[in-house]
A and B are shown apart, each in its own frame.
Chain A
Amino acid sequence: MAFSAQLRPEETQPILSVSGLTTSFKVARGWKPVVRNVSFDIGPRETLAVVGESGSGKSVTAMSIMGLLNPRTSLIEGEIRFDGTSLTRLSDAKIRRVRGSDMSMIFQDASLNPVYTVGFQLTEVLRLKRGMSRSQATEEAVTLLEKVRIPAARKRLGDYPHQLSGGMRQRVAIAMALACKPRLLIADEPTTALDVTIQAQIIELIKLLQDEEHMSVMFITHDMGVVAEVADRTAVMFRGDLVETGTTQEIFARPREAYTKALLASIPRLGSMNGTDFPQPFELIDHRTGEPVAAAATPLPAAPAGSLSLLDVDQLSLRFDVRGGYLNRLIGRVHAVEDVSFSIAPGETLSLVGESGSGKSTTARAIMGLSSMVRGDIRLGGLVAAGPKAAPRSVLCRKQQMIFQDPFASLDPRFRVGDLLAEPLRLHLKLQETEIEQKVVALLRDVGLRPDMAQRFPHQFSGGQRQRIAIARALALDPQLVVADEAVSALDVSVKAQVINLMMEIQRERQLSYLFISHDMAVVERISHRVAVMYLGRIVEIGPRRSVFENPSHPYTRQLMAAAPVPDPSRRQLRRGLVADEIRSPIRPKGFAPALTRMIEVAPDHFVLDLPDHAPEFP
C-alpha cells in the first residue's frame, strides 16, 4: 500500500467522482435529506475511507452511488460520475450493466441468499455477467474462492451460506464482488460484524486483493482504527454532511474540524496507556467548539490493596448439551465456560476480554444467576451468588447489578424512565413515595440526565442516554458489584467514550467494583485494573492490566493485540500471512474430559494458562 498512498489524486483522473450529492428520503410530509451536498473523488487504485458514526449518511452515500435506493422512496440530486460517465442519468438497465462488472459492493453482514449454494450464487454472476458456460463458471468460481484464500475451495461450492462461518461468508461475498474484475469496490462496514482477529484477516485480504486486482476501494466504516489501517484518504461524515476530507495522515495528525477532533479524542488507542497502572478517563473534546470538555481526566486510584475480595469465582464450569441425529440423542456439549476462577476486590475493575464464543458473557450471566451453573461456586461478599444454595434474589440484587449490551432492549419500552428507576426501589427498599422520587432524581443527575426526563419513555432517548438510564437503574439499589456485559460495544465512539468516563466517575465516587466484559482491547486497556483474557471458555491469561498489556504472554493474547486495529496511520504494522483460520468452536464430543487448568505465574499476579498436552484446543 505504501506507494499507492504517495500517488496523488490529481495525477490521474478519478474513477469515481461525486459532486454535490444530496440524497433525500420520503417522509410523512415531503423529502428529508439524509446526505447533504457531498463531494469527493476516488482515484485509480486508491482507497478512500468514509468514516462516520451511525446516522452520518455514509452508507446512504454508498447506496446512492450504486443506485440501490428505491426511486419511489428516495431522491438523488447532484452528480455521480464513474469513469467519466454520469450514473445518475443512466437507465436502470444500463446501471445494472455497470453494477457488478465495473463497480461492485460488499455489505456489513456478508449477505448471501440463504437458500442457494455458494457455487450457485458465484457462478450466477459469472454466467450472466461474463457469459461463461457452467463448467467454465465453476472453474472460475474455484479460482475466485482460492483468490480469497478459502481452503478447499472446490468443496465449498456445494455449501450453503449458513454452513460457513461469518468470516468465510464475507470472503465469499468478496469473491463474488471480484467476479467481474471491478475497478471500484465499495465495502460497506465489511468487518463490523466480525471478531477482531477475523476482521484483521478480512482487512488484509481486501488490501491484498486491491493490489492484485488494481482496483479502487471505497471503504465505509465507523472504526477509526480500521480507517488508519486501510485508507489512503479519509472522508469524515457527520449527520449527512461531509465534514472533512484529506489524506489519512493529515486527518489523524492535524484534524481541522472540531468534530474530527472530538472523534479522534474519543478513540481508545491501544497502547496509549503504556506506563500507567490505573484506569484513566478520556480527555474529551466538544464536537462544536473543539475545546476540551471540562472533566477530571485524572486516573482512578488503585483498588485498596490487600482488602479481601468482593467476588470470588472458583472453578466455574458451564456446559450446554448439543442434541441431534437419530432420536436426537446427546451428541456433544458446548463447554461454554471451563474451570474459570478469579476474584475481584472492592473498588476494582476486572475486565473479561475475548472473542465470540470465548464464554465471557456466559460467565457474567452465571455470576448474575441468569444461567444454570454446572460446577464451581461463586461467592459475593460471603453470600453464595449462584447455584442451588444461592442466596435469595432479593438479597443478591442489592449487592450486584448488571448493565446489558443493547440499550434498546434492556429497558421495558412501556415504562416511563421514572418508573423504571423506581421499580427496584419500591420492591426492595421501604421508602416513602417522596423519598423514592428524590432518589430517582438523584440517580438521573448522577448519570448526567435531567430530572425532568423521568417523565419520558425509553424510545424518546438516544442510545447513549438509554445506556445511562440502564446504569442509573443498576445503581438504584447501590450495589457493590456491577457487571457490565459489553455495555459500551453498541455505542458510537464518541458516546462510548463518554459512557466509559461516566462509569469511571461513578466508580470513583462509590467505590464500585466492575466486572467489565468486552471484546475491545483498547477499551479494556482504558478501564481496567486487572484483565482476564478468555478463549474457548478458559481464562488463558489473567493479571494486572499493565503487566498483561505490556507483556502478553499467551499466544492468543498476543494475537488479539496484534489484531486490534491501531488508529494511527503511522503505526500501520505489517501482519503475518493470511491464514484463513476461524475461532474454533467450544463444542466437544460427549465423553470429552477437559484437561485440568494449570496457571503459571509469569509476573507478580500475572498468570498464564499452561496446557502443553492440549495444544489442539489452541492456535
Chain B
Amino acid sequence: MFASILQRVGQAVFVMFCMTIVVFIGMNLIGNPIDLLISPNATPVERQRLIAEFGLDQAIWVQYWRFLVGLAHLDLGVSYIFNEPALRVILQRFPATMELALMATFLSVLIGVPLGLYAGLRPYSPVSRLIMTSSILGFSLPTFWVGMMFILLFSVQLGWLPSSGRGETVTVFGMQWSFLTLDGLSHLLLPALNLALFKASLILRLTRAGVAEVLPQDYVRLAHAKGLSARRVVYVHVLKNVMIPVVTVVGLEFGSVIAFSVVTETIFAWPGMGKLIIDSINNLDRPIIVAYLMIIVLLFVTINLVVDILYTVLDPRVQFSKTGKR
C-alpha cells in the first residue's frame, strides 16, 4: 500500500514535470500573450519592454528554470489576465467545477445503476432492449450537442430552467455553493444532466454486463440452492459483486467528468475551471494553464489512489499492492 502510494506520487511528479515542459515549449511556439493583449497604440519599444518584463525574450529553458524556482516556493506565477496568483484564480473556480462534477456523477449513478440492473436481470424483456438501445444513444450524443439542445428546449423553448451561470450561491467553508439554494439548484440541473448523460449510459452498460456475468456464477446457484428468496439473492449476493467494478469505474470516470466539464461549462457559461482553461488557452495565459494542469494531475492521481483503496476495501480478493498498476 505504502509502496504504491509512493509510486503514485512519484508518477504524478514525473507527469507534471513532462507536462510543464510540453506546455512551456508549446505555448511559446504558439505566440506570446503580449501581441494578443497589448494596447493597439503601444509602441514597439513598449512591446519589447513588456516582453522583457515577462522574461519572454529569454531562452525557453531559462523561463522554465525560473518557473521551477518559483515552484519551489509554491509560486505558480501570476495570471497575465487576472493579475492574481494563478493558483488562487483556479481555486476560486474549483468549487464550481467540483459541484458540477459531483452532481453529474450522482445523477449518472442514479440513472445508470437501476436501469442497468433491470436490463441485466431481464435481458430478454422488450423494456431491457429499449434501455440498452437508448443507452447507445446516450453513448453517441456528443456532450456539446446535447447541451445545446437542452438550452434550446428547456431554457429557450419551455423556459423551465436557466440557461447559463451559477445562480444564487451560499458560502460554506469560504466556498461558493449553488446546490444549497433553489435558484442555484435550478442552474445546476441542466449542466449536470448534460454532463451525466454519457456516464449514465456507461454505468448502465457496465452494471448490466456485470449482472450478466455474475448471474450464471456457481455461488449464485448456491445461493438459490440455499433456498434464499430471489430478492435476497439479487440484492445481497449479486449486487455487491456487480457493484465493485461499477464503483471503481465511477471513481475513475470522475476525472473525465471533470475534464468534460470543459465542454459543458463553455456551453452553460458555468464559471468553473473548465471554462477558465479554455479562455486561458485562447489568451495564452501560461501560468493558469500550467497551474491548471498540475492541479488536474494531482487530482487524478489522488482519485486513482482513492479508487484503489476503495477497491481493496470492497473486494476482499485484492491486496492493495497488487492493484498498484491498473
Touch between chains A and B, by CB atoms below 8 Å? yes
Q: How far is the CA of A109 from the CA of B236 in the complex (A)?
A: 21
- Quote the shortest CB–CB distance from B212 to chain A (angstroms): 13
Q: In the complex the two chains form, is B321's CB within 8 Å of A324's CB? A: yes
Contacts of A115 in B (CB 8 A): 240-241, 244, 314-317
Are A107 and B226 closer than 8 Å at their CB atoms?
A: no
**Contact indicator B228/A124 (Cβ below 8 Å):** yes
In residues 51-98 of chain A, which contact B (Cβ within 8 Å)? Answer: 66, 68, 72, 92-93, 96-98
Say if the beta carbon of B66 comes within 8 Å of chain A.
no
Question: Are B232 and A128 touching (Cβ within 8 A)?
Answer: yes
Chain B residue contacts of A96, Cβ below 8 A: 224, 227-230
Q: Are B227 and A129 in contact (CB under 8 A)?
A: yes
The answer to whether B317 touches A160 (Cβ under 8 A) is yes
- In the complex, the answer to whether A113 meets B241 with C-beta atoms within 8 Å is yes
Q: Is the CB of A105 within 8 A of B225?
A: yes
B316–A114 touching, CB < 8 Å = yes
- Among B81-89, B145-153, B213-221, B248-256, the stretch in contact with A: B213-221
Question: Which residue of chain B has the shortest Cβ distance to A109 in the bound complex?
Answer: B218
Smallest beta-carbon distance A130→chain B, Å: 11
Give the residue name and chain of the A residue nearest to B238 (CB).
A113
Within A106-147, the residues touching B (CB, 8 Å) are 107-109, 111-117, 124-125, 128-129
B6 partner residues in chain A, CB cutoff 8 A:
327
Query: Looking across the interface, which residue of chain A has its beta carbon closest to that of B214?
Result: A113
Q: B240 contacts A104, CB within 8 Å?
A: no
Residue in A68, A112, A324 whose CB lies within 8 Å of B225:
A68
Residues of A within 8 A of B219 (CB): 111-114
Query: Is the C-beta of B59 less than 8 angstroms from some C-beta in chain A?
Result: no
* Chain A residue with Cβ nearest B225: A105
Q: How far is the CA of A162 from the CA of B317 in the complex (A)?
A: 7
Contact B2 A100, beta carbon cutoff 8 Å: no
Interface pair A68/B217, CB less than 8 Å apart: no
Q: How far is the CA of A108 from the CA of B224 in the complex (A)?
A: 16
- Show 17 residue pairs from A and B whose CB-CB distance is below 8 angstroms, ordered by the A residue: A68-B225, A93-B229, A96-B228, A96-B229, A99-B225, A99-B226, A99-B227, A111-B221, A112-B219, A113-B219, A115-B317, A124-B236, A125-B227, A125-B228, A128-B232, A173-B222, A327-B6
Instruction: Kindly report which residue of chain B lies nearest to residue A329, judged by CB atoms.
Output: B3
Question: Bound state CA distance, A111 and B244, in angstroms?
Answer: 19
Contacts of A112 in B (CB 8 A): 219, 222
Counting CB contacts under 8 A, is B309 at the interface? Answer: no
CA of A162 to CA of B322 in the docked complex: distance in angstroms? Answer: 15
Complex-state Cα separation, A471 to B224, whole angstroms: 43
The closest CB in chain A to the CB of B316 belongs to: A160
Q: Which 7 A-B pairs have the closest CB atoms?
A: A100-B227, A111-B218, A99-B227, A160-B316, A327-B3, A105-B225, A113-B219
Chain B interface size band reads 20 to 34
Taking CB atoms, residues of chain B closer than 8 Å to A405 are none
Task: State the B residues within 8 Å of A (CB).
Answer: 1-3, 6, 124, 217-219, 221-230, 232, 236-237, 240-241, 244, 314-317, 319, 321, 324
Docked-complex contact A327 and B222, CB < 8 angstroms: no
Chain A residue nearest to B317 in the complex (CB): A162
A324 touches B319 (CB 8 A): yes
CB distance from B4 to the nearest CB of A (A): 8
How many angstroms between the C-alpha atoms of A211 and B193 in the bound complex? 63
Q: Please tell me if A619 contacts chain B, counting CB pairs below 8 Å.
A: no
Whether B221 contacts A68 by the Cβ 8 Å rule is yes
Q: Is the CB of B241 within 8 A of A114?
A: yes
What is the CA–CA distance of A410 and B66 in the complex, to the nearest angstrom?
61
Within 8 Å CB of B228, what residues of A?
Answer: 96, 100, 124-125, 128
Cβ of A328: which chain B residues have Cβ within 8 Å of it? 3, 321, 324
> A115-B316, A160-B317, A328-B321 given as contacts; is B226 within 8 A of A176 (CB)?
yes
Q: In the bound complex, do residue A99 and residue B237 qualify as a contact, i.e. CB atoms below 8 Å apart?
A: no
Q: How far is the CA of A112 from the CA of B219 in the complex (A)?
A: 5
- Nearest to B215 among chain A residues (CB) is A70
Contacts of A3 in B (CB 8 A): none
Q: A325 within 8 Å of B by Cβ?
A: yes
Cβ-defined partner of A104 (8 Å) among B226, B236, B241: B226
Which residue, of B6, B221, B244, has the highest number of chain A Cβ atoms within 10 A?
B221
Inter-subunit contact B241/A92 (CB<8 Å): no
Residues of B within 8 A of A68 (CB): 221, 224-225
Within 348-404 of A, Cβ neighbours of B (below 8 Å) are at none
The CA-CA distance from A200 to B25 in the complex, in Å, is 71
Give, as a whole number of angstroms, the nearest-CB distance from A505 to chain B.
39
Of the candidates B244, B317, B324, the one having the most CB atoms from chain A within 10 angstroms of its own CB is B317
How far apart are the CA atoms of A125 and B223 in the complex, in Å? 9
Which single residue of chain B is at the shortest CB-CB distance from A115?
B240
Residues of B within 8 A of A111 (CB): 217-219, 221-222
Alpha-carbon gap, A564 to B174, bound state (A): 74
When C-beta atoms are compared, the residue in chain A nearest to B3 turns out to be: A327
Given contacts A114-B241, A114-B317, A327-B3, contact A107 B221 (CB under 8 A): yes
> In the assembly, what is the distance between CA of A113 and CA of B242, in Å?
12
How far does the alpha carbon of A249 sit from the alpha carbon of B228 in the complex, in Å?
39
- Chain B residues, CB < 8 A from A327: 2-3, 6
Minimum C-beta distance from A85 to chain B (A): 15
- A592 sits at the interface (CB 8 A): no
Cβ–Cβ < 8 Å partners of A98 in chain B: 227
B314 / chain A contacts, CB cutoff of 8 Å:
115
Contact of A113 among B223, B225, B230 (CB under 8 A): B223
CB distance from A135 to the nearest CB of B (A): 20
Instruction: Given contact pairs A100-B228, A125-B228, A160-B317, enumerate 11 new A-B contacts (beta carbons under 8 Å).
Output: A99-B224, A99-B225, A99-B227, A100-B227, A105-B222, A107-B221, A115-B240, A115-B316, A128-B228, A324-B321, A327-B6
Q: Is the CB of B224 within 8 A of A101?
A: no
Distance A325 CA – B314 CA, assembled complex (angstroms): 20
Q: When chains A and B are docked, how far (Å) is the Cα of A108 from the Cα of B222?
A: 11
Query: B317 → chain A, closest Cβ, in Å?
Result: 5
Nearest CB in chain B: distance from A51 CB, A: 21
Least distance between A539 CB and chain B CB atoms (Å): 33
Residues on the A chain within 8 Å of B222, using CB: 105, 107, 111-113, 173, 176
Residues from chain A with Cβ under 8 Å of B1 in the complex = 326
* Chain A residue with Cβ nearest B224: A68
Q: Mark A168-201, 1 if CB is under 8 A from B, else 0.
A: 0000010010011000000000000000000000
For the complex, give the distance between the alpha carbons of A99 and B221 in Å.
Answer: 12
A218 to B6 alpha-carbon distance, docked (Å): 55
> Judging by beta carbons under 8 Å apart, are B226 and A92 in contact?
no
| Chain A residues, Cβ within 8 Å of B2 | 326-327
Segment 307-341 of A: residues with Cβ below 8 Å from B: 324-328
Query: Chain B's nearest CB lies how many Å from the CB of A496?
Result: 25
Complex: A72 Cα to B122 Cα, angstroms? 11
Q: Which residues of A contact B324 (CB under 8 A)?
A: 328
Residues of A within 8 A of B217 (CB): 111
Knowing A113-B237, A114-B241 touch, does A104 contact B3 (C-beta < 8 A)?
no
Residue among B218, B222, B324 with the highest chain A CB neighbour number at 10 A? B222
Residues of B with C-beta under 8 A to A93 = 229
**B321 touching A325, Cβ below 8 Å:** yes
Inter-chain contact B218/A107, CB cutoff 8 Å: yes
Which residue of chain B is the closest to A129 with respect to CB atoms? B227
Q: List A contacts of B225 (CB < 8 A).
A: 66, 68, 99-100, 104-105, 107
Q: Smallest CB–CB gap between A123 and chain B, Å?
A: 12
Q: Which residues of B contact A105 (CB under 8 A)?
A: 222, 225
Minimum Cβ distance to chain B for residue A471 (Å): 33
| A87, chain B: closest CB distance, angstroms | 13
A100-B226 CB under 8 A given contacts A112-B219, A160-B317: yes
Task: List A residues 453-504 near B (Cβ within 8 Å).
Answer: none
Q: Which residues of B contact A104 (CB under 8 A)?
A: 225-227
Residue of B nearest to A122 (CB): B226
Give chain A residues whose Cβ lies under 8 Å from the Cβ of B236.
124
Query: Among the listed B3, B223, B224, B232, which residue makes an inter-chain contact with A326, where contact means beta carbons less than 8 Å apart?
Result: B3
Residue of A117, A128, A328 with most partner-chain B CB within 10 A: A328
Kindly report which residue of chain B lies nearest to residue A62, judged by CB atoms: B225
Scan A413-449; emit 1 where CB is below 8 A from any B CB, else 0: 0000000000000000000000000000000000000
